[in-house]
Every structure is written in structure tokens, then in C-alpha cells.
Amino acid sequence: MEIRELAESDLPSLLDLCQRTLPLDPFSLPALRHHMLNEPSQHPAYQLSIWDGARLAGVMVGGAREAQGRRDAWVRLFAIDPADRRKGLATHLLAELESRLRADGHTRLHVANSVPNYFWPGLDLRYTAGLCFLQKSGFQRAGDAVNMQVDLLARDWDTTDAEARLGQAGFTFRRLVPGDREQFGAWLRDHWSAAWHYEALSSYANEPISTFVVLADGRICAFASYNATTFEHVFGPTGTEPALQGRGLGRVLFLRCMRDLKDLGHPAAEICWVGPIAFYARVADAWISRTFWFLEKEL
């Protein structure tokens, strides 16, 4: 078997492998292309695959980020063909990734949550073999996160009354438009993080643009995005300026996103890496559907 870096032409084989090995997630070619090729910090040398002739036997997709003087590395996605399990392939691929990372000066390896471009906030515990493999490989639990699910078919997600009431208080709700890009980008940078700046602006790539904003006196003061950088049907990020929190702006934005997702044909939405669990339980009867562990090891 031969280890090599994944190429764009490997994406169909990668999709087939992901669909067969990661059944809890809706992998698609656009999602994989976005994650492999539009990575904000491209490191092809960390995106490893192992081949049995022309057949893709497994992948260990790594990545790295440098922010505020800190360098971090991730295993972003890993999978071995069921026909090739328990032969040491994942161990072999991880050893190769770790050796390349060490040679580049990395000292710590995380799993999955490579914000702003990531599939999961951590390892979904139901990928049990994945967890066993990581623990055997020296990773330790460093925290946890949950995703929540919303039944989109249960409601019509109408916001007319709430928008009329908030309209009287001077707030306008609308979808982000191309002309907002400069103001929205600057506002995200000023009020939120570099990660949310990247994630929310990614929604410009979608048709329709998958962000709603609130304006007060022509100024953006809250936003909510969906289908940003994880999977399709996923809500987030969202934020209301602290001084305006508690007035119902975030609720209306969230419901507008749910209505869009329902109109796009999704029966359910997933809220990624929550956050205010009680808020989503209250406004949408959302329930905790997935539990993730953060996992880390020293290199």
C-alpha cells in the first residue's frame, strides 16, 4: 500500500469512503471540496491517503492553523475502508501525519474542531471505533460539546408578528445582500471573532445567501447564518450585540433561518456547537442530538 497526498481528482473516492464509513453525516462533493481545497490555511502535505492500487483504503486528513502567535494542528477527518480495518492502517497514517507535523515544529494535535473550517466540534462519541483508536493512540479528553436538532416539519416558522413588534422599536430584519459585505465584515471583526468573520462571510457562497441580519438606524446589530462551513442543514454562527440581547432579535433571526432550511427541503436542522442550550430548547423545542469530545495529545 502507498501513502500519498490527496488530490482534487480523489474527491469522488473520498466521498464514497466517507459515505460508507461515517453514516451519521451527510457528506457531499461540495462539502468535501470546500474542506479540502478552499481551506483557509492550505497544507496538502497533511492531507494523507493510503491506496491499494487504484482503490482508496483510508484517509487521515490533517490541518494546521496559526493565530495570535499560536500554532495548532488537527486531525480533521479520518476513515479506513471496512475491508482494511484492524490491520494498522489508521495507526500508520497517523504516525506519518504526526511525523510531518513534528518536523514543521508542531507540538500539540487536536481532533476535528479546526475552526473556522471544520466538520464537527469534536469526535461524535457514536463513532466508537474512532474513539477507541484515538485513545489507543494517546489522545486524551479535553472537553465536550453538543449539537442540537430541530424538527423543521413541526412548525411554519412564521415571524410576521414578532417582526412587526420589533419593527415598531426600530429594528429591520432582512437577508444579507452583496452590498452589505463591507459593513458586515467590519462589524463581525469589531464585535466577534476572526473565526466567525470567516464562517459568516462563507454564507455569501450560497444561493440564497444564508445569513439574516438586523439593522437599527441602517447599522447591522445582529446576525444569524446557516450552511456556513460544516454540513448543509447546519445552523450557526449567530450573535446579537450584547447591549441588545434579550429583546427577541436572535429568536427572529433563528426562526428565519429555520424557515429557509425547511423551504430548501430539509426535514431537520442541526445547531452546531451550542452554546445556549435552553434558548434553543425554548424557542424551537430543539433537543440535544449529538455529543462530542474534544481530544488532544502532545506531539
Ligand X SMILES: CC(C)(COP(=O)(O)OP(=O)(O)OC[C@H]1O[C@@H](n2cnc3c(N)ncnc32)[C@H](O)[C@@H]1OP(=O)(O)O)[C@@H](O)C(=O)NCCC(=O)NCCS
Which positions lie near ligand X, rule CB under 6 A? 21-22, 77-80, 85-91, 123, 127, 129-130, 132-133, 136
Q: Which is nearer to ligand X, 224 or 295 (CB)?
A: 295
Q: By C-beta, is 22 or 222 nearer to ligand X? A: 22
* Nearer Cβ to ligand X (129/162): 129
Closer to ligand X by Cβ: residue 123 or 261: 123
User: Min. distance of Cβ 182 from ligand X in angstroms?
Assistant: 37
Q: CB 59 → ligand X: shortest distance, Å?
A: 9
We find the least distance from the C-beta atom of residue 194 to ligand X, in angstroms, to be 25
**What's the min distance (Å) between Cβ of 46 and ligand X?**
14
Minimal distance, residue 293 CB to ligand X, in Å: 11
Backbone angles phi, psi at 218, to 5 degrees: 75, 5
* Grid coordinates given for 150: 430541530
Contact call for residues 48 and 60 (beta carbons, < 8 A): yes
Question: Closest-CB residue for ligand X?
Answer: 130
Nearest distance from C-beta of residue 196 to ligand X, angstroms: 24
In whole angstroms, the minimum distance from the beta carbon of 188 to ligand X comes to 29
Smaller CB separation from ligand X, 136 or 219:
136
Residue (78 or 204) nearer to ligand X, CB: 78
- Cβ(116)–Cβ(196) below 8 Å: yes
Lookup: cell for 50: 493510503
Report how far residue 133's alpha carbon sits from residue 130's, in angstroms, rounded to the nearest whole number.
5
Q: DSSP of 211-232, one letter per residue?
A: EEEEEETTEEEEEEEESSSS-T
In the complex with ligand X, which residue's Cβ is closer, 123 or 257? 123
Of 137 and 193, nearer to ligand X (C-beta) is 137
Query: Minimum distance from CB of 292 to ligand X (Å)?
Result: 10
